[in-house]
Structure 1
């Protein structure tokens, strides 16, 4: 093990760099909380995701990371469209619901889905409706890139934040 600076924790390497240590280190970085939604053939799907980022400004693109086991991914792949709903601070229950494997999650949350568009959640701090631009598989996840075709922002609503394993709501 490499010695750390005086008064600082020791860096972890090799076998000490466990999944648990990695998770704890990543938890030091606060992230927003989103629900990624998609619709295909009348079926609505959604998953809580905190791996979300803007990618490019021109064209406007975002990226999200979905587990390969996600039921939302097949709907995105088939419809070629999805929405990223940035949850507001008072939507902790929504984040928890969409983190489950419960069926018909969208039946329990107010939303709008026009003409086969991906559902957008009422009360979100912002949302991005996207066309699928690309998807890259990396180990257990898919990195999904979307070209933003429509968005909404409500600057009066504070975003929900996840840090150190807790939702700040």
Structure 2
């Protein structure tokens, strides 16, 4: 068995976490006519009844304090080919929605067109944990697309590969 070494620096834990592939989501809303959104890779299902999912938000985010005031939040699971959209949503500069087709519903949830999944949600709970908050969202509606999700692993975007004859 290899020796497990203690984590001594942020970059070591970031590298370690990078060994687990994750999907990439966009959490977005339209507030007073302005499109606001960010990218989050720490997304997971939490509960079926009630329908809950979670994302983690950095305490240093300047976007999350604005988003959390929205009546509704649109969560889009980004699809293959959304690499540039993800990069813009993660950027601190420029128009995060430049060249991005979106759909906004009547309550202000903003969704990225062509995504694998859309979830219409509201904040259910926020739990401070280290340098992030775990934000639990209650899902009020869902739409599933046919596009394969964007996957982030080893500090880069990757594609899912289908295995012949594999089934769960």
Question: Does the 8 Å contact 1:42/1:116 carry over to 2?
Answer: no
TM-score by length of 1: 0.86
TM-score computed with the length of structure 2 as normaliser: 0.86
Deviation at 1:38, TM superposition (A): 2.2
Of 154, 163, 166, the match for 2:156: 166
- Structure 2 gaps of 5+ residues are 160-168
* Partner Cα distance (1:100, 1:139) in 2: 23
Tell me if the contact between 1:38 and 1:75 (Cα under 8 Å) persists in the aligned partners. Answer: no
Aligned to 2:30: 39
Which of 85, 106, 109 is 1:118 aligned to?
109
Out of 4, 12, 34, which is 1:11 matched to?
A: 4
- Computing the radius of gyration over CA atoms, which structure comes out larger, 1 or 2? 1
Number of positions where the alignment pairs a residue of Structure 1 with one of Structure 2: 159
Moved over 4 A (4+): none
Q: CA offsets, 1:60-118, max 9 Å, x none?
A: 10000111232332233222421211011111111111110134322431001122422
Unpaired runs of 5+ residues, structure 1, are: none
Alignment RMSD, CA only? 1.7
